[in-house]
Amino acid sequence: MGAPHMTSAELQEQHKRTETLRGPTGLGGWLILPALGLFATPVLAIPTFGDLLPLLTSGAGLTAAQMLVVWFELISNVVLQLLAPAVLLALFFQKKRYFPLLYAGWLAANLLIMLLDLVFVYNAFRSYYDTPGVVFWDQDTAQGIGRAVFGAAIWIPYMFKSVRVKNTFVN
């Protein structure tokens, strides 16, 4: 029974919260996998920075368009592979209610940036990729795109449909 001074809307909200709390709660279950992925993302990005930094420091005879693509890759990787996971992990452990939305947005942004980067790289380095024997779409590229699509296809709906997510991210 609610307090006598509660409005009908407040009583409905209290009832809704009580109903929502039925089911699993807490940072367990399948939520462990996104957390592990957020911890692993910066570590797995280290080789990318090792590839990009020499290009920036030496210039390596790159055109202005090619340097722009290298800078795009560097900035997008810093934001998506270093900064965003750190912020998302903080929100995750604080159980902030906007974590699921931001996590889903991060997954979508990763996929979008990955696809844009492919277009930019191919166009900026077209003369290189048009050389006989040079392959643009290799196994690593296909696997990276596949992982991003697969991850987004699983975790975006999970963040919006899971009872555990709804019961956990309430702050």
Binned at pLDDT 50, 70 and 90, residue 3 comes out as low
pLDDT score of 15: 58
Give this prediction's pTM: 0.80
pLDDT score of 53: 77
Burial group, residue 76, by CB count within 10 angstroms (0-12, 13-18, 19+) = middle
pLDDT score of 81: 93
Binned at pLDDT 50, 70 and 90, residue 19 comes out as low
Poorest-pLDDT segment among 46-60, 95-109, 114-128, 149-163: 46-60
The domain segmentation of the chain, as residue ranges, is 24-168
Q: Which residue type is seen at 65?
A: A
Please say whether the beta carbons of 151 and 41 come within 8 A.
no
Q: What is the mean pLDDT of the chain?
A: 87
